[in-house]
Each structure stands twice: as C-alpha cells, then as structure tokens.
A and B are shown apart, each in its own frame.
Chain A
Amino acid sequence: MGTISLRGVSKVYGGARAVTALDHVDFEVAEGEFVALLGPSGCGKSTLLNLVAGFEGLSEGTLSFDNAPVTRPGPDRGVVFQEASLLPWLNVWENVVFGPKVQKLDRSDYEPRAREILKIVGLEAFHEALPVQLSGGMRQRVGIARALVMQPRALLMDEPFGALDAQTRLSMQALLLEVWQKLKTTVLFVTHDIDEAILLADRICVMTARPGRITRTIPITLPRPRSIDDLTSAEFNRFKALIMAEMRGGHH
C-alpha cells in the first residue's frame, strides 16, 4: 500500500450537464516517491489532486492516505497552489508560520524551522515583505516554504510553476530538486510541461481527457541527484520522445 492510494475513483461534477472528470482511476504513490501527473488541459489533473488534498469529495471508489480514508484537508498533506494563494494581508513570515500557529504548536519548535526554510528558499531578507511586494517566483517560494514548514507527509503541487517565465521556472525546478533530494518527501506534482515532469519525477502518469483516465505510467530512470543540466542529455531526450509519442498517439 502506498502513501497515496486511489481505487476505482470517479469524480462527477453535477450541474445542468454532468462532467465526469475522473473515471475509475487506480493510482498509487509510494512513500518518498516523486510522481508527476502529466496531461492536456481539462483531463482531470487538478481534480485528482484536490481529491487527495481533501478539498473535494469523490463520487465513487476509495481514496486513502497513509492507509486512512481521506475526509478533509490537513497539514499532513501540504498543498502548493498554482498562483501561490498566499494570504495577502500577512507578510512572508506570517504566511509561513500560519500553519504551525493555528495548529497551536510550540513557537520554539517551529520558529527556527521556519527561519531555516525561508533561508533555503532564499527569502531570509524578505520576512517583512507583503505578497504584493514580491515577484511571482518569490511568492511561489513562500508557497513552498509554508507547505514545508508543516513537515507534511506528502507535498501536493498543482502546476506550481505554470505561471512563471521560463528562466524563473528553471531556477524553481532546481530549487525543488535540491529540497526534495534532501527531504525525500512524497510528492504528487501536476504539470502539463513534459520537460518538467521528466526532470523532477521518478514516475510519470500520463492522463487523457473525456473521460479522465491514467493511460500510461512511465518510470523515469535518470540517475539522481539530478540537475537542470540533465535537460539536454541524450537519455533525457529519449524519455521525451517516448512521452511525446505517447501523448500524440493517445490510447494503447
């Protein structure tokens, strides 16, 4: 049994015209594994992630996290949102310690950790800054820091770098690789960028739309530790060719 486990999970959005966003999906993420969900827009990637996060309920099937059914969101699953979604009236520091604070943890326990994480993500000089005063990349780093400070059992990231420019995106990917190689947390990472998925993940699950399904799982055997230099290696390009063929060809 993995940390994250979906068995025959379906999600139907009601309304005038019901939409089957996920159709009997079986999916596992093992402890310490980095899994990327790759697929075109509207195939149900966010839906799957939101179910795991506990933001939405499933229509059918079973979904468990650490062998317990998921019923609501919680600090054991740190979520990183696409637009960071920081609380704009709180400064960087207050955003990062929001979680431990509402959980009523001991200050002496989380404050050193928060300081250290802010240093790792390169924001030690920005504790007092408000989110509006930060660049998109910096905001996203706060988003990651606020998830990490809770020491979650898994990180759920929904296109966290999707709104960033190419260069910032590269530096954020490098940062995430570095952090992950240190922490080895379980990560579920949603993206529609093939390069990003290959660079980061141990395993890529390719999704297709209408109905939302996982059609293929491709293990990425590039050696670790990885760096953004791998983006140009021959092996990298073999994986890329394979996945592009998969996405173009559709079902097998």
Chain B
Amino acid sequence: MAGPDTRKTTGSAAKPSLMELAGERLGRGLLAIALPLAVLVLWQLSGKNGAVAGGALPTPDRVWNAWLVWAFGKPGPMTLSPYVGTWADAIYFSAMRVAKGFGLAVLVGVPLGIIIGWSRLAASMVDPTIQWLRPVPITAWLPISIAIFGISDFGAVFLITIGAFYPIVINTTQGARDVDKNWIRAALMMGASQWDILRRVVLPAALPSIFTGLRIGLGIGWTAVIVSEMVAVKSGLGYVLWDAYYVGRMDIVIADMVSIGLFGFLSDWAIVRLERWVLKWRRLQNFNQ
C-alpha cells in the first residue's frame, strides 16, 4: 500500500491553496483571451491606413475610435451623423425588446410546456400544432408581423416571442415528461393535490430542462431582435447595423456586431448565474461540481 502517496493526492484534491486557485483562474482567463487577441493583432497588422482588403474592412483601431464617438460623443446642434452618443439608446431599445419578447415567451412557454408534459390530453391537443408551426423560421413571420403590427415596437416583440417560444416550450415539455414516477407517488402519498404536484414536483423537476430552453430561447431572441430591427423597426442595434451599412460606415457595423455579441453573452451569463443559484441541488449531484 502506498500510504504517503494516497495522502498526498487526497490532500491536494481536498484543499487547493488560495494561490493555486488564483493561479488557475488567471491561467484560464489568459487561455480564453488568447484567441481573440491573436485575431485582433493579425487583423490590425494586415491593414494599411486603417483598412483591410482594399478598404472594405476597417482595422480594429478605427472601429474602437468610432465606437468611442458612438458611445460617448456629444452631438452638437450641427451634428448630422446619427452615430454620436447614441450607442446606449440603441442598446436600450434592443435589450428592452428582447426582455419583453423573451418574458412573454417564458410566461406562455413554461406553463404550456408543463401542461403538455403532464397531461396526455393537452399533449395530443396542442403538441401537433406546435410541431407543425415550428419549422416556420422567424424570418418567414416578418411579413405577417409587419402587416399586423406595422412598423412598431410590438412587431419586434412578437417575432422575439415566437422565436424564443419553441425551445422553451419543447424543453419544458421534455422536462415535465421525465419526472421520476416515485416523486409523484411520494407527493400523492403525502396528500398533494394535482395543483401541488404541478407546482411543487413537476415544475422543480423540470427546471433543469427549462433552463436549457431559456438559454436557447434567449439566443434566438437576440437573432430575432436584430432581424426585425433591420426590417420592421427604426431603432435599436439591428436598425443601426443596416443603416450604417447603407451609408458605408463599416466601422459602426463592426462596433455594432461586437455590441450584439457582448450583450447576448451578458444575458446568457445572467441566466447561467440564475441557473446555478436555483439549481444548487442539481449542481451538487454532478460529477464536475
């Protein structure tokens, strides 16, 4: 028996020092940033006079400067460019639409998914319709959305709701279907009503898959907001993207793309944090805590 060996491995596995932890985090941070940094450097170096590929693509420094003006510039009375100090507005409009559309999709998708997953009757009534409508991409909903809501905020919200709804409802259904039979039996044995079962057993049991649906749904929500703003609304990151392209401001186009990526990432991160907090019991079950 290799006594000392065993002790050493369990010792370091049980309690890594603070320094080790900090070092590990730093190492992982550096690894994560290496690739984008390399791309930026290459991109910058391959440009001449602030442009790459014969002028079609601006270099990172020009994008950065354009973003500074877009974000922090003070428009004077004679400013004609819409890209001075309006970045926060664009973010706000898009984010609000995503929040509204996504919120609506959650409000409809989660309860509906729970009911479809729980009741065979509801499943045979609603599920086929959902499955038929699902292959229709959100872009195909654009004309009807404009026809009904016009060039308005709600058109965008509608598209986001549709886009986010499917992954949410489908994953919730799956989660509600996979509930351990003995959890239900235990609850029934303890005197739970059907409503108690749905709320206190099926819903929490389905939460891990619900969160999967939320993450996918939110991603689609960001796609939908950009698409609808490019076509059907006159504000937000999607509108700026298309508008800047038309007036040849590729620096703004790229700054806009980076902003979409950043806020998409942030909102996903927020959901992951929420998930970690809500599903603590689940995390403790996992091999990789």
Chain A residues proximal to chain B, CB less than 8 Å: 53-55, 72-75, 77-79, 81, 83, 85-89, 98-99, 102-103, 130-133, 146-147, 150
User: Of the 9-residue stretches B179-187, B242-250, B260-268, which lies at the interface with chain A?
Assistant: B179-187
Residues in B with CB closer than 8 Å to A74 are 188-189, 191
Seed contacts A55-B185, A87-B183, A89-B282; 15 additional CB < 8 Å A-B pairs:
A72-B188, A73-B185, A75-B191, A77-B189, A78-B189, A81-B182, A81-B186, A85-B185, A89-B281, A102-B193, A130-B281, A131-B281, A146-B190, A147-B189, A150-B190
**Cα separation A83 to B181 with both chains bound (whole Å):** 12
B61 at interface by CB-CB < 8 Å: no
Chain B interface helix/strand/loop/mixed: helix
B76 to chain A, nearest CB (A): 57
B200 to chain A, nearest CB (A): 7
Residues in A with CB closer than 8 Å to B280 are 130
**Cα separation A78 to B187 with both chains bound (whole Å):** 11
B178 at interface by CB-CB < 8 Å: no
Q: Is the CB of A73 within 8 A of B204?
A: no
The answer to whether A79 and B200 touch (CB under 8 A), given A99-B191, A103-B191, A150-B191, is no
Residues in B with CB closer than 8 Å to A87 are 183, 186-187, 200-201, 204
Q: List the B residue with the shortest CB-CB distance to A133.
A: B284
A87 to chain B, nearest CB (A): 6
Residues in A with CB closer than 8 Å to B201 are 87
A158 to chain B, nearest CB (A): 10
**Cα separation A99 to B186 with both chains bound (whole Å):** 9
A167 to chain B, nearest CB (A): 23
Q: Is the CB of B192 within 8 A of A102?
A: yes
Q: Is the CB of A98 within 8 A of B284?
A: no
Residues in A with CB closer than 8 Å to B284 are 130, 132-133
Residues in A with CB closer than 8 Å to B186 are 79, 81, 85-87, 146
B6 at interface by CB-CB < 8 Å: no
Q: Is the CB of B190 within 8 A of A99?
A: yes
Residues in B with CB closer than 8 Å to A88 are 281-282, 285
Q: List the A residue with the shortest CB-CB distance to B286.
A: A132
Q: List the A residue with the shortest CB-CB distance to B195.
A: A102
Q: Is the CB of A132 within 8 A of B285?
A: yes
Residues in B with CB closer than 8 Å to A102 are 187, 190-193, 196, 200
Residues in A with CB closer than 8 Å to B185 are 53, 55, 73, 79, 81, 85
